Amino acid sequence: MRPFFRLLLPFSAFVVTVSLLAACGGASSIKPSEVLDERTGMTVGTLDKPIELVQGTAGFPALPGSDRRASFAYIGPVEWDNMGNISYGLWIHVAPGNDWRFEDIQAAGAVRLLLDDDATALTVIKPPALAHAPYQPVASWGETAYFAVDLELLKRMAASGKIGLDVKAGDSVVRFVAGPDAHEALARFLHARGY
């Protein structure tokens, strides 16, 4: 082999490696996962980690009287498949920062899902009693609940350009906004579920 081509081969391998890494780096790091629950025999589909939402108003109109203290919210879709009987839920965990105190997020109307310009009140559900929860709470002082969603709402979430939550906190409402890769993670979740 000529010396020029010997030098070219390592360089070509380097270019291919860098190109592959760049292609992978652009994708969201949140991927779908599926486990068989040993207690119930259900197949549980989730994301490998929940989607983080930060306090703010990016892309949504500002809320009057909202204070900007560092609080976080997390959402995670769940599919419970009990021998073909499929149901869905949305796991939500809110972690107040500073001196925010959220109302009980399980109270009626305490949490609203924002999709682009549409707000939907969420209804609390009792999830199946599994050996392991689909997602683990991020903050020990946070509050967690499951909310009813259907396949159509999950599809709307995946297609939305803006995803957010409004959570009641006393006389105020705290708005949380998902990053731009949230809809991509939700789309991958649906694709893994066969949609």
Find the Cα–Cα–Cα–Cα dihedral 138, 139, 142, 147, rounded to 10°: 0
pLDDT of residue 33: 87
pLDDT digits (tens, 9 = 90+) for 119-172: 999 999 999 999 999 999 998 888 999 999 999 999 999 999 999 999 988 788
pLDDT tops 50 at residue 16: no
- Contact between 2 and 12 under an 8 Å Cβ cutoff? The reply is no
pLDDT digits (tens, 9 = 90+) for 73-96: 999 999 999 999 999 999 999 988
Q: Quick one: average pLDDT of 1-10?
A: 45
Specify the higher pLDDT residue, 178 or 23: 178
Residues 78 and 155: their CA atoms lie apart, in Å, by: 13
